[in-house]
Amino acid sequence: MFIIPYAVVSGASQPKIDLRGVWKFAIDNQDKGVIEQWFSKSLSETVTLPGSMATNGKGFDVTLSTKWTGQIVDSSYYYKPEYAKYRVPGNIKVPFWLQPLKYYVGAAWYQKEVNIPKDWKDMDIRLFLERCHWESRLWIDDKEIGMRNSLGTPHLYDLSKELTPGKHILSICIDNRVKDIDPGINSHSISDHTQTNWNGIIGQLYLEARPKVSIQNIQVFPDIQQQKIVAKVRIENSTKKRQKAAITLLATGTTTPESKNFNVDIAAGVDTLLLEYPMGNDVKLWSEFHPNVYQLTATLNIPKKDVKDSFQTSFGMRQIKANGTQLEINDKPLFLRGTLECAIFPKTGFPPTQIDEWLCIFRICRSHGLNHVRFHSWCPPQVAFDAADQLGFYLQVECSSWANQSTTIGDGKPFDKYVYEESERMVETFGNHPSFCLMLYGNEPGGKNYTQFLTKFVTYWKNKDSRRIYTTGSGWPNVDENDYQSTPNPRIQGWGEELKSIINGASPASDYDWNSKIASFKQPVVSHEIGQWCVYPNFKEIAKYDGVLRARNFEIFSETLTENGMKQQADSFLLASGKLQALCYKADIEAALRTRSFGGFQLLDLHDFPGQGTALVGVLDAFWDEKGYISPKEYSRFCNSTVPLARLKKHIYINSDTLSTSIEIAHYGDAPLLACIPTWKISDIYGKVIFSGKLPQTDIPLGNCISLGEISVPLSSVQKAEKLILEVSVGSFSNSWDIWVYPAQKEKITGVDKIKMVSTLDLATCNYLENGGSVLLSLKKGTLKPEFGGDVKIGFSSIFWNTAWTHGQAPNTLGILCNPEHPALANFPTEYYSNWQWWDAMSHSNAIELNKLSPEIKPIVRAIDDWVTNRPLALLFELKIGKGKLLISGIDLNQDIQNRPEASQLKQSLLHYMAGKQFNPTVSLPASVIQNMITE
């Protein structure tokens, strides 16, 4: 295997020919791939590189027959009547991912004339193509040179023999098809789900001339205990003779050790030297808190041959390792607070190769309390590592694969060999970066033999390079050879759990953790893809898509919402579902922080995932912009290096209860906190402090599950139903939790005896209504007919991932939307969105489809439907039946109500409203319509 590594700055003083600019271009859509075809005529089109066919407006319009790269789990788009108008030429709109303006998969030709200077005659010449997508084949004039197919590293060609002084034609064929080497059609390195399957060349493009004896690569191995580095220097000597030379090493950075000289004897061909370099007594370590980066410059000098060469690379003095079940960075406990980056770049369809864009991404992540990014089934460009080095981010980099669905790994297919080759290229190219902390093959492998194959892969790399930690695959398999384990089990909603998960199946609390789920592991555990909590689309985002992609999926969803008469609700649905989404993420993250010696978590996601049927799982959109319902400051209260935590056994109380909770802290900061006096307070929604106190002074070491003390507060002084906020502060770090307190003794309501409370409409009740009576109809869960919404899978949490990719997994709704000032809710304190006091209602409810009743109904409480179906769903609404008044509750307010304080209080609030003068429905329906929607 021929590898020419790429360093941070390679031979900066060496002459180069910049190849950026205009290239001749042609599409080879006949798949001939014969260079003579293109030499027989001048290519008539042009493109600008760096760039892709899409950024140059090349390719074909999307049609129904477009052959995508990526799995379509829900293929209903191709046959369902509701999508018919989006299958018409001129109005093609696909719902499963962002839609490119132009699309092409196949071979395309890029051609440029170059003029090689005379003084390059006795030099080695390299062609450098920073990122090609995907396969490149190179011709010089009419001679084929070779092929490169790395997805994650530069394509480099040795052209020393071919590029003689004078003019030459460079012809490059780029082919973005999946051929015999299949990393998996859903891999974010190639898939239309995220970055698009683009065709082109981006980043740096140049020819470089180097001396016949030159430094090709340096791998730097830090030793923080001995305060030194070992530099593995690879030198190419194409003179065919041994050469005596001097090499000088100098590290510069926060501190500058002295240079060191080495006299070396270089063998012909490729020679590798191991040079030890002391970093001095004042060496600065690299971490998230102190991102100290050094530059190592190696200078090679052969005076007798008048040969001089230099090579520069960045590195950091750091050590990441597993110590039992705890990750450590420089011998300090490490907790990874991560998100995924799935190659989501809506403007260009390919990753940025400018450092400013990556600095912006990592700063946004840091503002939300994160210190880690996982690159799901792809490897980012050079500048991503540079930015992470500067800002102190721990990167998990994967070898471009999600070997599932279209392929497997470990079964003898061509990709088995390729993953070793690709990992070698990645480590050679990016291995010195201190931010390159974790590496694995890729995501969720499939096949009969993947465990054995990936175990060998991990063992190979552990033995070869100790600069980072390794695991087999994201999600699985978990084997003893792994440095850390990646598993999806420690999270509050798992795939397939639906309404039986912790967040949907257990009463609200914050006292659970994942200790029992990880007890069998001997290594640190980093939870795989936690979260996946959806939010309603922000249709104002459509205007942002002014690059190579369009949000046609959003356009479909917006049009459906309008057709169902709820266009005016779009912003409210976004904000209300967003508040619930943030609550779900808070619960997920805090559970991880409460788990002893946990390795960390990887969110799916901090920002939206545009593919797989549209997975709007981010509190930020696909552009990393805020959506308006939670700020970075708010998010970082529960996601940070230091987070106070309360183990609340419940969030709902009656005023005869005593609130008792243990207070602890997760502290993974730079150093222990000394002589801290934690404080706490319980306030009402207006900020009035009702209870407060201090916990004992203490020193807080690094780690988690660190007890700060107990809080015990009788709630008898809380006389009315209200929401309260418990807040705990430790220095500048604060966190809070919402609780609700309801009176144990209900207020007597004048006139309640005239309200009839039923679970179905029998003849007597209908007559009562016709004659002017008031009725509260509370449906038992499961008694609503499917055609009226009985088939809607309703639960407390927001939608997990999405319904298209999960085959309609429950829940199918995104929480509630209501007017908290509505008099029916006057005695049931609420915001306009779902909070923990709505858990009971959502767990005992039916979502009633209003368009089957009357479009004029304005519900008191809505359930926000999936954006794909956009049905108007109600939990509470009122009607006029004859002379009477009917309040319909899709929430069961009768079953086991003595053990359901929220239901009891909601029922009290509704009855108080119905007994008053404000209860005056205006929309009339026959009683038979309501009778017809209830099962017998």
- C-alpha 566 chain-centroid distance: 30
Distance CA 128, CA 313 (A): 17
The whole-angstrom separation of Cα 739 and Cα 657 is 12
Q: Assign 386 to helix, strand or coil.
A: helix
Angle between helices 382-391 and 414-430 (to 10 degrees): 50
- The partner residues of 881 in beta bridges, in order of sequence, read 884
**Phi-psi category of residue 57: left, alpha or beta, with phi > 0 → left and psi -120 to 50 → alpha:** left
User: In this predicted structure, what is the pLDDT of residue 114?
Assistant: 97
Alpha-carbon dihedral of residues 191, 194, 199, 202, nearest 10 degrees? -130
Beta strands 436-442 and 394-401, pairing class? parallel
Q: What is the DSSP letter of 378?
A: S
- The tokens of 420 are what? 């070793």
Tokens of 240: 């065919």
Tell me how far apart the alpha carbons of residues 406 and 884 are, in angstroms, rounded to a whole number: 61
The pLDDT value recorded for residue 754 is 95
Cα-only R_g, the chain? 32
Q: What is the per-residue pLDDT for 2?
A: 33
Residue given tokens 């319009």 in the structure block: 61
Structural element, H or E, at residue 874: strand 873-881
Amino acid in the structure at residue 672: P
Token pair 């990750």 is found at 327
Structure token pair of residue 90 = 């001129």
**The pLDDT of residue 10:** 40
Q: Supply the pLDDT for residue 792.
A: 97
Rounded Cα distance between 214 and 235, Å, is: 6
Contact assessment for residue 390 and residue 359, using Cβ atoms and an 8 Å cutoff: yes
Q: For the segment 21-54, what is each residue's pLDDT rounded down to a tens digit?
A: 999 999 997 665 555 555 545 688 999 999 999 9
Contact 497, 481 (CB under 8 A): no
* DSSP-assigned letters across all residues of 173-211: EEE-S--S----TT-TTT-TTTT----EEEEEEEEEEE-
Residues of the chain under the 70 pLDDT cut? 1-13, 30-42
End-to-end Cα separation, the chain, in angstroms: 73
> In this predicted structure, what is the pLDDT of residue 763?
95
Amino acid identity of residue 429, one-letter, is T
pLDDT score for 9: 39
Identify the three-state secondary structure at position 78.
Answer: helix
d(CA 763, CA 929) in angstroms, rounded, equals 13
> What per-residue confidence (pLDDT) applies to 13?
55
d(CA 802, CA 866): 8
What is the C-alpha separation between 724 and 688, in angstroms, rounded? 10
Give the pLDDT score at 31: 60
**Coil, helix or strand at residue 573:** helix
What are the CA-CA distances from residue 502 to residues 47, 337, 584, 777, 781 (Å)?
A: 54, 21, 11, 30, 20
pTM of the model: 0.96
**Residue type, position 69, single letter:** T
The DSSP code sequence of 153-172 is S-EEEE-TTT--SEEEEEEE
pLDDT at residue 539, as a whole number = 98
Half-sphere exposure of 105 (CA within 13 A, CB side): 16
**pLDDT for 353-381, tens place per residue?**
999 999 999 999 999 999 999 999 999 99
| Local structure of residue 929 (DSSP, 8 states) | H
Q: Identify the pLDDT of residue 37.
A: 56
Helices 382-391 and 355-367: angle between axes, nearest 10 degrees: 40
Nearest residue to 798 (alpha-carbon basis) of 570, 612, 602, 535: 535
Please name the residue that has the structure tokens 């049927």. Answer: 613
pLDDT > 90 in the chain, percent: 95
